[in-house]
Structure 1
Amino acid sequence: MTKLDAKQIAAEKLDGWVYVPGGLQTRVTTGDFRTGLALVNAVGEAAEQADHHPDLNLRYPAVDIRLTSHDVGGVTARDVRMARTISSLATERGLRLSSDDVSRSEWALDTPAEATVKPFWAAVLAMEITEGANDIVDPADRNPCIWFQSSGREEPRQRWHPDVWIDPSQVQSRIDAAVAAGGTLVSDAEAPAFWVLADPEGNRVCLCTWQTRGAL
């Protein structure tokens, strides 16, 4: 299977799904646990038939769903097909899929010494170094990916910052809320790939989207 890039995935027009690093995600509002469990069971049966299995997080009152093709480390046509199947199963039950509240977080370490510090963080967090890339990942996909961004050595400097991946339609409302809470928009020079914001003490965070990117 070939990994799809951001434009190819966007062209599929998967309502209620958002493309974030390595996968497609959605949240299905169920209203209660029983309804969510019934949906999970239906998705499970469809996944067995397709031999392609999503990650499911059943909670009251919603089910979070993530699709990815682990053999290629990204989204493929299998995920698109399964996303359509899940959308149909939810719609048949009168349930709504939404990406409005979906996000995926990563942590970035700004460092001039990636090769020196990366093995330490992989060891202490029991994560794996991605061959040929500048990140480390949790093989069970339970903890955020950590990637290493090249920086200078000038002091003082912020070393850690989170990257929060969201649906492009949610960016402006997140920025507005952050500014209303006392933060500032530091830069939109790289928009719509990412926006840099800071809290009242200057600690930074990036709001990221799939836009203007290839495969994540």
Structure 2
Amino acid sequence: MSEDGWRQFLAAEGVDDWVVLHGGPTAVFRVGSLQEAARLAASLANVDGLDPRTVLSLASDHVTVKLTREMWGTEARHVDVARAISALARESGATADRRAVHEVQVAIAAKPEAIDLGFWRAVLGYASLHDDNCLDPLGQGSTVWMQDLDPEKPLRHAMHVDVSVAREEADARIAAAVAAGGRVVDDSNAPGAWILSDTSGNKVCVAAWPDGAPLRDS
């Protein structure tokens, strides 16, 4: 896996509608009705170069396009695909809404000998993408990622939620979470990522770094 693909996508011209999430380039296009959403989705489905993992989902007020399901699978050709999709959306009267784009990922940490991704694939009915993760084959649920637990921690297991957002949405999302009673517990990687917790100490990572916001230590 390489960073080249998604970093080239970020640097390309003509992809301003798109956000690079943990799950790869994603766009939300606002429409006026479910019928408009269905017509737009049918049009987008005929764009040349769509990835086998591309997911189109629709609702009464928007169409969401996920090109790859993973940022590591982003290739140079996806730039042209994204441009073509944006052009069709504009022609149909749809408008892009970058701040509506987000993705939730469940991160399960364990000691190396206790990592059991097979259990999570089985209980959730998820498909394998890589050795350390799995995803909803319907493209609706959160991705599950298994990571090594920090050896300095006394815990044998832990779980947290990752929320991947557009770089311009991160501050507003964090402010809303704090206003709702949460707190920022680690901003050492801001403006690329923050760790927050609720009043019970359950943790959430809000990440804008795949979309171009730098990690402080990078």
Aligned to 1:31: 32
SS in 2 for 1:159: strand
Q: Which runs of 5+ in 1 are unaligned?
A: none
CA distance in 2, matches of 1:116, 1:171: 31
SS in 1 for 2:191: coil
The TM-score normalised by the length of structure 2 is 0.81
Q: Which runs of 5+ in 2 are unaligned?
A: none
The TM-score normalised by the length of structure 1 is 0.82
Is 1:144 the counterpart of 2:142? The answer is yes
Q: Is the 8 A contact 1:105 1:164 kept in 2?
A: yes
CA distance in 2, matches of 1:111, 1:124: 18
- Flag the structure with more relative contact order, 1 or 2, with Cα contacts below 8 A and sequence separation at least 6: 1
Deviation at 1:170, TM superposition (A): 0.4
Q: Post-superposition, which runs of at least 4 consecutive aligned residues in structure 1 deviate over 6 A? A: none
Decide whether aligned partners of structure 1 residues 129 and 85 sit closer, same or farther in structure 2, where only a CA change above 3 A counts. Answer: closer
Q: Is the 8 A contact 2:49 2:81 kept in 1?
A: no
Aligned residue pair count: 206
Superposition pairs of residues 56-135 of structure 1, within 5 angstroms: 56-68=56-68, 74-113=73-112, 115-129=114-128, 131=130, 133-135=131-133
SS in 2 for 1:16: coil
CA distance in 2, matches of 1:121, 1:69: 18
Amino acid at match of 1:145: T
Deviation at 1:101, TM superposition (A): 1.0
| Per-residue CA distance 1:145-182 (angstroms, 9 max, x = gap) | 22223135625x88221101000110100111111111
| Per-residue CA distance 1:130-159 (angstroms, 9 max, x = gap) | 55x43233455443222223135625x882
> What RMSD, in angstroms, separates the aligned Cα atoms of the two structures?
2.7
Deviation at 1:17, TM superposition (A): 0.8
| Per-residue CA distance 1:174-201 (angstroms, 9 max, x = gap) | 1111111111111111223321001122
